[in-house]
Amino acid sequence: MSNLIDGRLIAQQIHTETAQRVTALKARGVTPGLVFIRVGEDPASQVYVGMKEKKSAELGIRSITQVLPVSTTQAELLALVDRLNADLQWHGILIQAPLPKHMDQATVYARVAPGKDVDGFHPLNVGKLMLGDTDGFVPCTPGGVHELLIRSGVKLDGAEVVVLGRGNIVGKPMASILMQKGRHANCTVTVVHSGTRDIATHCRRADILVAAMGVPEFLKADMVKPGAVVIDVGVNRIKDATSKTGTRLVGDVAFAEVQPIAGLITPNPGGVGPMTIAMLLANTARAAEQSLNG
């Protein structure tokens, strides 16, 4: 029996549920609308937005992409966000990272109306997550990891969890989700990072490990308790002379050596990645539902 957590399969389950919600919304006269904003021509951003647009169309969500030149000023970008905030046909706004260096990412993300912040990055939504207020939007990647754990039958109540990484996009919200007092949470969470003195000791006591440090193959076999659940969030490009491109993508987990020890483990790719898009579109459906309530 495989110990792999199939992120593609679970993402498809969520997509099916989202499509049903979109159908119900259309029956009430509302088509969920999602705007992507991309500044510049970063190749990876083009691919990511293209994937999100394609899946949106499959689920019946109307989407458009606003592409701005890299020379766009921050004031011009904020003015566009203001116009979209006021436009009732759009329920979700996603600003694709990375932004040009002359823009302040925190300022830009904070300009999106909290009710349209389907990425979950607005300070109001971040605060709601910390407080356990379920009215806000949860960031898509940690929200996706949470769904992977729930739908894979992982026991969360009372579990020892170690989150590797303290970033605003994954590490901090992941810890907040799992430490909440409530269903599918109640974990004891330790966050380790570059300033932690003995990361391996913390990791070895964990029932669940979420690796999101952005360090290629950081989590080794000797850091994992036998039977632990291992979630690999990392996406890192490393040199590989055997590859046609000279590089290959790896996660934050040394997969080949950790898989035999883990109780459950996400592959990379095919684990967390598909869940991020699934949660984004589920958030968009929810934003449209909330627009009907007021």
Residue in the structure block whose two tokens are 């003015």 = 79
Q: Report how far residue 273's alpha carbon sits from residue 92's, in angstroms, rounded to the nearest whole number.
A: 20
Q: Any idea how long the chain is?
A: 294
Can you tell me whether residue 38 is helix, strand or coil? strand
119 is catalytic: yes
Q: Could you say which of 55, 116, 117, 119 is catalytic? A: 119
Q: At what angle do helices 123-131 and 171-179 cross, to 10 degrees?
A: 30
Q: Report how far residue 275's alpha carbon sits from residue 286's, in angstroms, rounded to the nearest whole number.
A: 16
Instruction: Answer whether 109's CB lies under 8 Å from 79's CB.
Output: no
Q: Could you say which of 96, 207, 252, 259 is catalytic? A: 96
Dihedral sign from CA coordinates of 260, 273, 171, 157? negative
Q: Is 161 exposed, middle or buried (0-12, 13-18, 19+ CB in 10 A)?
A: buried
Q: Could you say which of 52, 116, 128, 172 is catalytic? A: 52
Catalytic site positions: 52, 96, 119
